[in-house]
Amino acid sequence: MLTYEPGDTVLHVLDPRAKLAIQIGFAATALAHTTPRALAGLTAFTLATLVLGRVRPLRTLYAYRFALVILAVGPLVAAATLGPPWIDLEAGLVTALASYRVLLILLVSAVYVRTTPVRDSRAAIQRTVPGKPGQLLGVGVALVFRFLPVVRSDLRTIREAMAARLGTERSARERATTIGMNGLSRTFRRADRLALALRARCFSWNPTLPELAFSRRDVPALGIALVLALTAFL
């Protein structure tokens, strides 16, 4: 599961707002350009961010393994036709390029998650989006980043318990039903405990968040974000 990892890389010390700006600019450019030259440049940029953030590509791809299955199946479905010639290579290629661009966006997002604490992400959102909408978005992001790893851990525990009790001998439908029902039950129980814990700790919509301030090291990052955003319109 992708989570924040403390470090001293160049990307760790950047202001989270600068990193969010880079993500937005990169996503806009990736979705706007489909030429081989553009994809080569986007790939090089993605590899550079992985290196600067010291994020291991194979580990990140494994974390995205379920999304990768969907991205891989998409071109196959798009290429299939109900009649002759049965396979439309052009439609499959278009979808494959779209899937590849989505993969690049996911990898860049993984670098952000690995190099940015959850509290900093919440602070960046709440100080960028004013009022209650920003507070709601900030709380949502913080809870998602903290709650999803716990839910995935629960699902993994359920699968291991089933395997220990020869649950693998059951049909795929029965296994999926058991995991789904037990997973939902645990998720709801954890949600109830989370709500109780928030009330017990006097949950605030406007807590004391980390101080954020742009510095000289953020100037190149903001410049890159601006160039990426402008490139999307060229």
Give 55: exposed, middle or buried? Use CB within 10 Å, 0-12, 13-18, 19+: buried
Q: Residue 223 belongs to what H/E stretch?
A: helix 218-231
Please tell me the distance from the alpha carbon of residue 169 to that of residue 99, in angstroms, as a whole number.
35
CA distances (Å), origin 69, targets 72, 76, 109, 152? 5, 11, 18, 18
d(CA 23, CA 27) in angstroms, rounded, equals 6
Query: How do the pLDDT tens digits run along the chain, 234 residues long?
Result: 578 888 889 999 999 999 999 999 999 998 888 888 888 999 999 999 999 999 998 888 888 888 888 888 888 888 887 777 778 788 888 888 888 999 999 999 999 989 988 888 888 887 777 777 777 777 777 777 677 777 778 888 888 888 888 777 788 778 788 888 888 888 888 878 877 776 776 666 666 777 888 888 899 999 999 998 888 887
Report yes or no: 141 and 162 within 8 Å, Cβ to Cβ. Answer: no
Report d(CA 158, CA 93) in Å as an integer.
Answer: 39
Domain ranges of the chain: 16-117+213-231, 124-200
Ramachandran category for residue 129: left, alpha or beta (phi over 0 → left; psi -120 to 50 → alpha): beta
Nearest Cα to Cα of residue 25 among 53, 52, 45: 45
Contacts of 105 (CB under 8 A, 6+ apart): 26, 27, 30
Instruction: Identify which of 27, 21, 167, 201 has the alpha carbon closest to the alpha carbon of residue 105.
Output: 27
Prior bond to 85 cis, omega within 30?
yes
pTM (whole model) above 0.85: no
